[in-house]
Amino acid sequence: MAALLPLIILCPLAVAVILLLSRGTMPARATCGLVGVGMGLCALFGVIEAVTFLNGPDSTGALHVVLWHWIHVGGFDTSFALTLDRLSLVMMLVVSCIGFLILVYACSYMRDDPDIARFFVYMNLFVASMLLLVLSSDMIAVYFGWEGVGVCSYLLIGFWYHETPNANAARKAFVVTRIGDALFLVALLLLATGVGSLDFNAVIQAAPHAPHAAITLATLLLLGGAVAKSAQLPLQTWLPDAMAGPTPVSALIHAATMVTAGVYLIARLHAVFLLTPGVMLLCAVIGFVTILFAAGSALVQTDIKRVLAYSTMSQLGYMYMALGCGAWQGAMFHLVTHAFFKALLFMAAGSIILRVHHEQDIFKMGGLRQEMPGVFWAFIAGSAALAGLPLITAGYFSKEMILTSAYNVAPLFWLGGILGAFLTSIYIFRCVFITFWGEARTHAHGRTGIVQAVPLAILGVLAIIGGWMEVPDSLGSVHIFSNLLSPVLGELPEEHGGAVLLLIGSIVPLIGVSLAWMLWKPTGRAPEALDQPLVRVLRADWGFDALYDVVFVRPYLALGRLNRNDFIDRLYDLLASVTQFFGRAFGLMQTGQVRRYAAWIAVGTVLALCLAV
Amino acid sequence: MMFALPALVALPFFGGLAAWLSDLRGPARTPWLVSLVTLALQALLLVDLSATTFGPGWRAHFAAPWVSMLGIDIRFDMDGVSLVLLWLNLLIAIPTVLLCTRHVRDRPGLYQFLLLATIAGVNGVFLSTDMFLFFCFWELMLLPLFGVLLIWGHADRARVTLKFFLFTQGSGLLMLLSILALAVINAHDTGVLTFNYFVLAQVAGHSFLAPTIMLGFLIAFAVKMPMLPFHVWQPDTYAESPTAASVLLAGILSKTGAYGMIRFVAQMFPSATAQIAPLMIALGVIGILYCAWLAVAQDDVKRVIAYSSISHLGYIVLGVFSGTRVGTEGAVIQMVAHGLSTGALFIIAGFVEERTGTRDMRRLGGLWPAMPQFSAFAMFFTAASLGLPGIGNFVGEFMTLLGAWQISHVATFLAAFGAVLSSVYALTMMKRIFYGPAVIEGSQPLGAPSTPHLAVLGVATVLLLVLGFYPQPVLDLSTPGSLHPQSLSLAEEPAR
């Protein structure tokens, strides 16, 4: 079914183009219908393609479709080509199916916005770019998708353009991720000149024969690109601000898909990363630090979306730690389950926000359990999966898979992961208890419609049962997911010390939830956010934001303003005024008096004679 | 067929004259219509030339004696690069005349004549292979623009025109000296006085004076382009020009400098070029970063675009002086993409100024709801200018960087970092003009942009997207015709 592959990308693209050309004249209902049909077809084609591919003759290999040559010049050849193997199949299903659910949800969420057409132009462009990113077999086309999702993210964060903070957040998100993009671009230059092609297979085959320094540099640059896109330390500051966009955007872009692009890229190139253990260690360390850093910050946030943003950062940290430990399957598994439960959490949060008059501060909510039971259960399902409550949630299995691999590489990583899981269960249930229990501090209006409820329900179910496709040996040994990916990512290594680690990993989240209950259970008076200086620093990104502002942003802008008239221009002006000065000075000699001239001639002659003698 | 090349130069010139004369009597719009007809004829001529000539190498040739005593001929040769740039010239000229000159009330005939004379001069520059003729066209394309600037420019035009004049004429003089030196050396060696490009190119490489002579050319082109440190005339000039002149200057005149660097520096003086390449690449990189930095500090929309324009021209310098094929071809792509995107940005800036009465971004803001379609176009061309893949500019930047990477890793790394700085100023500009609460509410209704505006921007969008996704056809044209004698069958001596 090679013909279907381009169609999967074309569906959302076509919707975007149609909406763009309609110039906002299409009624909201028609817009939603069009989006539903377009994305529905996209998801349907994705599923059909996946099923036929897995039942086809070459289900462990790859399906390759060359679309056209991009540039071919002087020994360098690169083309737009799509490839479907089991890794891109997983990503494609995540993007198209979860994308479909989120866009359906968004139809309801954005129903009353006059600019709904523009919103869906951006969203569909995003889905098309993301699909291009995961389906390309050539890194240049990946880069097209990579930048495409970046610019769509920018447009969507700044979607409500009439507020300056949104514009600032959008610009910040783009510029910070652009730092990573620049590193990625340099990696492409390095590989293009070294290999003569940017095809994934060509690069992977050439890598073992290349000089070690070059490969190390290339993987380091690629890691840099991935880290910026996934909001890992030290380029994490853009993600919390990115919550300025509409909530479905956060669900789709800043939880389920775009931020995981870097994880996919590294998994795709894992054969190259395996050659550079130093870079892999760095990757694991970045993940390790980010887990704890972001979890610590999530613990004190007051804005429900910012809690989820920091939580996304922290969960991505798990994926990077897994990648660094060589647990490719673990990283991909967590990517999938995280897409389920984090999209669910964001959408549930969106439903809450809609019904409490766009209030996002959890300390101003409270008692919402009775008023919106459906959303409550969805949020609980998502929170349980995020916290990794044992056996009954998807997050548990994927997190344990990572933690076991991490223990086999370095027990310290395992310890960090466990500590992270502990903090995770505290911060998310803090959010749950404050939002849904206790006195009602706000009144919810309206009701959550069926168009919002169905996606929530589907993802809620997935967040619970989605983990059962990969169960460790000590609990029943199901390996559907790792078997699916093993032709691309290699066989799963033997597990060591499984049972004990599993037990600890099962108990820790339960302790965390209990602790959260003790701290934030309803007491009769309204809970209040902590406001010590230390907490404020923690809440404001551990001070990173302010630090970057002082060290980079302000000096750059201030010095730029100081030099806005361009000192080089001033140098030329100086030249001009010097010339004019001398011109005037010599002009003074032109007095018209003959005796003066005669005197000058005499002086000149004497001087000339002196020099001659 | 034979006369197609001289016709490309003569047509806009005489069309301009006709427009001027038509202004003497008749309605005020006649000159505008005459100009449009002229450009339409020019388009037909170019279609014919593209369809009937074949590459690679030199595709068309014309020669006739001019001043036989001094060995000066009228020689035109066209290769793929010339063809691409002739098209670019036309693509810039049509919207300039169509949009920016329609409502000129003050001496419209003269205005049209000066613009079309500039276009004729630019065509001549891209085609001439007689060095003296080349110099004549070089001057011809600039002189009319001084007039445009002086008569129709903004408040500070006298000072700015003087600056523009001093820089470009001063450097043009250096080029004239270099051309004369080449001719004299050749006459001394062979006893034949000629300004034939192909003949002089054979001499140029061997002379011990080559580096000095090359410098004369290089400075002239560097000023015209402009590149650091000769860029200072440009922001002032762009800001004070009427929109039509800004579009022409940024869209096409800056490309004559880049074209000259390929044709008359890199090709004629390969060894001297290789010697100076490190310096030029360093200047290119500094230009990219420094001007991107200056751009973010500006308040005037046109000055932001002007500095961003210099910044992007740095990539062309990288490509040309990398001495690689991929770099040179990337430079040509970058010229086309930069011409289209910068031209479009100036049209947008001109439109904003026309409707709001100001270019000062401190007084602008929140324009998105007032002009949604225009904002969308502005977003697109801003994305083009920050090098978004899928748009032509990215192809140019990527290929020039690919060329430069083979010369210097560090320089290329820094140049790639220019992508970050360009996103800073480009998105800041977007933010200050279109985002945020509306600043000038009710002062003047903004109104819908005219259909020609939307059509022009739409065409530019489509062209840039095609160039970004499928650049190969242009790339196939972008290898400069070679100088080697076997390729000169088309370039034989004119019949005397």
Closest chain B residue to A72, measured at CA: B472
Chain-chain contact of A181 with B469 (C-beta, under 8 angstroms)? no
Q: Residue B68: what residue type?
A: S
The CA distance from B251 to the nearest CA of chain A, in Å, is 23
Domain boundaries, chain B: 1-63+74-141
pLDDT score of B486: 46
Cβ B416–A178 below 8 Å, yes or no?
no
Nearest CA to B330 out of B258, B407, B386 is that of B258
Side chain identity, residue B328: T
Residue B420 with chain A: CB contacts under 8 Å? 175, 178-179, 182
Residue with tokens 């061309």: B381
Q: Return the amino acid letter for B434.
A: F
CB-based contact A164 B437, cutoff 8 Å: yes
Two tokens, residue B480: 């400069």
Backbone angles phi, psi at B196, to 5 degrees: -60, 125
Contact B452/A at CB under 8 A: no
Per-residue pLDDT band for A557 (boundaries 50, 70, 90) equals: confident
pLDDT band of residue B315 (cuts 50, 70, 90) is very high
- The pLDDT value recorded for residue B492 is 45
- List chain B residues with CB under 8 Å of A164: 431, 435-437
Q: Is the pLDDT of residue B24 over 50?
A: yes
- Contact present, A264 and A134 (Cβ < 8 Å): yes
Residue B463 confidence class, pLDDT cut points 50, 70, 90:
very high
* Domain range annotation of chain A: 293-526, 568-612
| Helices B301-321 & B325-356 angle (0-180, nearest 10) | 170
Q: Provide, as residue numbers in chain A, all residues whose Cβ is less than 8 Å from the Cβ of B399.
A: 71, 73
The answer to whether residue B77 neighbours chain A at the CB level (below 8 Å) is no
Band of pLDDT at residue B464, cut at 50, 70 and 90: very high
pLDDT score, position B489:
46
Residue in B420, B429, B461, B466 to test binding to A, most A beta-carbons within 10 Å: B420
How do residues A200-219 score in pLDDT, each as one tens digit?
A: 888 888 888 888 888 999 99
Beta-carbon count within 10 A of A594 CB: 8
Q: Per-residue pLDDT tens for B431-454?
A: 888 888 877 655 455 666 778 888
Q: How far is A254 from chain B (nearest CA, A)?
A: 20
What residues pair up with A470 in beta bridges, in sequence order? A479
CA atoms of B147 and B440, how far apart (whole Å): 34
Question: What mean pLDDT comes out for the span A182-190?
Answer: 93
Ranking A249-253, A419-423, B65-69 by mean pLDDT, the lowest is: B65-69
DSSP codes, B318-382: HHHHTT-HHHHHHHHHHHHHHHHHHHHHHHHHHHHHHHHS--BTTS----TTTSHHHHHHHHHHH
Q: Which residue has the tokens 């054969």?
A: A271
- Residue A57 confidence (pLDDT): 83
Q: What confidence tens digit (pLDDT) does each residue in A357-403 have? A: 888 888 888 778 888 888 889 999 999 999 988 888 888 888 888 88
Specify the 3-state DSSP secondary structure of A446: coil
Chain A residue with CA closest to B458: the answer is: A21
Instruction: pLDDT band for A528, please (50, 70, 90 cuts).
Output: confident
Least confident of A252-261, B354-363, B455-464: B354-363
Report the C-alpha gap between A156 and A123 in whole angstroms: 8
Mutate to test the interface with B, among A13, A178, A188 (most CBs of B within 10 A): A178
Residue type, A412: L
Phi first, then psi, for residue A585 (nearest 5°) are -60, -45
- The beta-carbon neighbor of B298 closest among A175, A181, A564 is A564
Torsional sign, CA A355, A361, A364, A366: positive
Instruction: Tell me the per-residue pLDDT of B227-250, one tens digit each, with 9 for 90 and over.
Output: 888 888 888 888 888 888 888 888
Phi, psi of B363 (to 5 degrees): -105, 0
Q: Would you state the structure tokens that stand for residue A226, as one six-digit string?
A: 């991935």
Nearest CB to A69 within list B405, B437, B472: B472
Q: Most confidently modeled of A374-378, B53-57, B121-125?
A: B121-125
Q: What is the structure's pLDDT at B446?
A: 64
| Close Cβ partners of A11 (under 8 Å, ≥ 6 residues apart) | A38, A39, A41, A42, A45
Q: Answer for the pair A418, A406: CB distance below 8 angstroms, yes or no.
A: no
Asked if A166 lies within 8 A of B293 by C-beta distance, the reply is no
Per-residue model confidence as pLDDT tens digits over A411-456: 899 999 999 999 999 999 988 988 888 777 777 777 778 888 898 9
Nearest CA in chain B to A560: B297
Count of beta carbons in the 10 Å neighbourhood of residue A450:
9
**Closest Cβ–Cβ partner in B324, B372, B402 for A189:** B402
Answer whether A70 sits within 8 Å of B428, measured CB to CB: no
Both tokens of residue A446? 């309206």
The complex scores an ipTM of 0.90
How many whole angstroms separate alpha carbon B425 and alpha carbon B292? 7
Q: Which of B361, B431, B432, B470 to mutate to test the interface with A (most CBs of A within 10 A)?
A: B431
Asked if B405 lies within 8 A of A193 by C-beta distance, the reply is: yes
Angle, vertex CA B246, rays to CA B294 and CA B390, nearest 5: 70
Residue B491's pLDDT band (boundaries 50, 70, 90)? Answer: very low
Residue B387's closest chain A neighbor by CA?
A147
Asked if B401's CB is within 8 angstroms of A73's CB, the reply is no
How many angstroms separate the CA atoms of B354 and B371, rounded?
A: 13
- Predicted pLDDT of residue A322: 92
> And the tokens for B381?
């061309």
φ/ψ of residue A502, rounded to 5 = -60, -40
- Chain A residue closest in CA terms to B382: A151
Given pLDDT bands bounded at 50, 70 and 90, which one contains residue B496?
very low
Contact criterion met (CB below 8 Å) for A106 and A127: no
pLDDT of the residue at A496: 62
CB contact under 8 A, B435 and A182: no
What pLDDT does A195 receive? Answer: 84
Cα–Cα dist A478/B274, whole Å: 64
